[in-house]
Amino acid sequence: MLRAAGAVGVAASLPNLTSCGDDASPPARILLITADDLGWKDVSSAGNPNLATPNLDRLAARGVSFTNAFDVTSTCSSSRTTYATGQYPHTHGVTGLVHRMPELSLPQGSSTLARHLADSGFTTAIEGKFHLAFPHEAGDYGYQEVMTTLATQWIVDSTRTIEFIRRMGRDPWFLELNYMNPHRNLLGEFVQHPDHPRDAGTLQIPEYVVLPDVAGAREELAAYYSQVERMDAMIGEVVSALESGGLLDDTLIAFISDNGSPFPRNKLSLYDRGTGTPLCFTWGDRLRPQAREELVASVDLMPTLLGLAGIEIPPTVQGRSLAPLLGASDAPWTSDGVFGEMTNHTGDAFPMRSVRTERYRYIRNYDDRPIPLEGGGQAWVRDFVSTLEPDHPWLAPRVPEELYDLTVDPNEQDNRIADVALAPVLAELRDRLDRHQAATDDPFRGRDFESVVGG
């Protein structure tokens, strides 16, 4: 069976994975936890003073956390399909929301993380959001147990999750928990959870979200943080169930968020606040607690989990396993940067591509349509927009290229594309993006910028 055969390769490539011996056996169980619209610094361990996420903080502290992890896109369906396939959106084809554009759905029978795990002896299950296809459901993509449907995607408590854990006992399983928190509800609003109230009056609007301190913004942020805390509490209940059942030490747990926080020019953008994500792995005492600063991407998640499970990584995968970084602190790791892309969200395309290095971010826009204002239906957003001049970043047509020096401009506000001193940097980043697009057969490779808004 692939799982047993692949374990030899895991042992050979990860001699320093465990801090307590040379055991290189695959995990008995895998728990993948995803958040919906959780910003990369919207946890208390990242220094956010507006909320408390003790359970996520504890997971990060117990294992390996990545402080420079990025999703390869900034919209839900595209991002989650990358988790499942280990491919960039322009490769797997899910380049927008599938419930709005069903023709973009991942084809049935595609190679997915769940399908490979099921074929290798894991019982595969999913609870919460499934957004790879519509109207097809998760059972068509390798999940043997589907605890929620397209109509009931919200995980409101931990009852079903804990029942699954207890029922499975020590059998091998893969469970994907996709929390809708902290996504807006079906009315497009955030509502404070009664068990986790947050005071809008004492809230500090973080600089990195680049939001105005206007009436309504604080209240919406407070409700968003309330829902983050609700998700954190449920995660704590699940981890406690694993611990009380004696299952925690040999369960590999991974946590990631599908895109940035759902506010204007955060989600749907390719800036750090749009693509940055919390990312951590815990696995009993098999992983030495550490924080890694290497640049890593969500396209690496699927091959990492398959590799640690002792399963051969398919040749169609475009990411690479992060297993070396989960082991020795001095593991060599080279990178041309992390690559990002947006093509669509709900129907009107606004294509762009990006490469992000340790110091710089370069964005190539393919037309001048502004980034859609996520949360634009909120009254405070409409009121604020009504006061803006046409050249405000929220409204202004996009320019062909953007370049940011993150050491002096971490919030990506000063486009240095015309800075002569950065011309060599610009040339290098253009080349890196060109090479990535060529290597991955990106259909936007070589496409000219189009002025749609400006005429």
Whether the predicted pLDDT of 44 surpasses 90 = yes
- Residue 151, pLDDT score: 77
Confidence class for position 2, pLDDT limits 50, 70, 90: very low
- Residue 341, pLDDT score: 98
CA neighbor of 7 nearest in space, from 31, 28, 21: 28
Say yes or no: 127 and 273 in one domain.
Answer: yes
- Residue 202, pLDDT score: 94
Whether 273 is covered by a domain: the verdict is: yes
- Residue 454, pLDDT score: 83
Residues 261 and 40: beta-carbon distance below 8 Å: no
Say yes or no: 393 and 287 in one domain.
Answer: no
**Which domain, by its residues, includes 401?**
338-439
The residues with which 85 forms a beta bridge, in sequence order, are none
Say yes or no: 250 and 206 in one domain.
Answer: yes
State the CB neighbour count (10 A cutoff) for residue 354: 27
- Residue 7, pLDDT score: 34
- Residue 19, pLDDT score: 44
How much is the average pLDDT of 425-447?
A: 98
Say yes or no: 175 and 213 in one domain.
Answer: yes
pLDDT in tens, 58-72: 999 999 999 999 999
Whether the predicted pLDDT of 33 surpasses 70 = yes
Say yes or no: 186 and 274 in one domain.
Answer: yes
Q: Tell me which of 301, 326, 351 is where a domain ends.
A: 326
Say yes or no: 321 and 387 in one domain.
Answer: no
- Residue 332, pLDDT score: 83
Whether 160 is covered by a domain: the verdict is: yes
How much is the average pLDDT of 325-339?
A: 88
Whether the predicted pLDDT of 8 surpasses 70 = no
Whether the predicted pLDDT of 353 surpasses 50 = yes
Say yes or no: 302 and 352 in one domain.
Answer: no
Percentage with pLDDT > 70 across the chain: 95
The residues with which 34 forms a beta bridge, in sequence order, are 178, 256
Q: Tell me which of 293, 326, 359 is where a domain ends.
A: 326
- Residue 48, pLDDT score: 96
Whether 444 is covered by a domain: the verdict is: no
Whether the predicted pLDDT of 186 surpasses 90 = no
Give the domain CATH number at 166.
Answer: 3.40.720.10
Give the domain CATH number at 430.
Answer: 3.30.1120
Whether the predicted pLDDT of 11 surpasses 80 = no
Say yes or no: 159 and 211 in one domain.
Answer: yes
The pTM (predicted TM-score) of the whole model is 0.95
Say yes or no: 84 and 228 in one domain.
Answer: yes
Confidence class for position 17, pLDDT limits 50, 70, 90: low
- Better-scored residue on pLDDT, 22 or 114: 114
Say yes or no: 177 and 236 in one domain.
Answer: yes
- Residue 5, pLDDT score: 29
pLDDT in tens, 230-287: 999 999 999 999 999 999 999 999 999 999 999 999 999 999 999 999 999 999 999 9
CB within 8 A of 150, min separation 6: which ones?
A: 99, 130, 134, 135, 137
Whether 250 is covered by a domain: the verdict is: yes
Strand ranges inside 366-418, DSSP E: 401-405
Number of folded domains in the chain? Answer: 2
Least confident span in 36-40, 327-331, 349-353 = 327-331
How much is the average pLDDT of 190-210?
A: 96
Whether the predicted pLDDT of 295 surpasses 60 = yes
Whether 281 is covered by a domain: the verdict is: yes
Exposed/middle/buried for residue 77 (C-beta within 10 Å: 0-12, 13-18, 19+): buried
Say yes or no: 300 and 364 in one domain.
Answer: no
Whether 221 is covered by a domain: the verdict is: yes
Mean pLDDT of the chain: 93
SS3 275: helix
Say yes or no: 116 and 228 in one domain.
Answer: yes
Whether the predicted pLDDT of 6 surpasses 60 = no
Whether the predicted pLDDT of 4 surpasses 70 = no
How much is the average pLDDT of 293-315?
A: 97
- Measured N-to-C along each axis, helices 217-244 and 159-168 cross at an angle, to the nearest 10 degrees, of 20
Q: Tell me which of 292, 326, 360 is where a domain ends.
A: 326
Whether 50 is covered by a domain: the verdict is: yes
Sign of CA dihedral 181, 406, 342, 68: negative
Whether the predicted pLDDT of 9 surpasses 60 = no
Whether 103 is covered by a domain: the verdict is: yes
Confidence class for position 20, pLDDT limits 50, 70, 90: very low
Confidence class for position 444, pLDDT limits 50, 70, 90: very high
Whether the predicted pLDDT of 13 surpasses 50 = no
Whether the predicted pLDDT of 14 surpasses 50 = no
pLDDT in tens, 384-434: 999 999 999 999 999 999 999 999 999 999 999 999 999 999 999 999 999
Whether the predicted pLDDT of 23 surpasses 80 = no
Percentage with pLDDT > 90 across the chain: 90
Confidence class for position 18, pLDDT limits 50, 70, 90: low
- Residue 330, pLDDT score: 79
Confidence class for position 1, pLDDT limits 50, 70, 90: very low
Rounded Cα distance, 92 and 316, in Å: 10
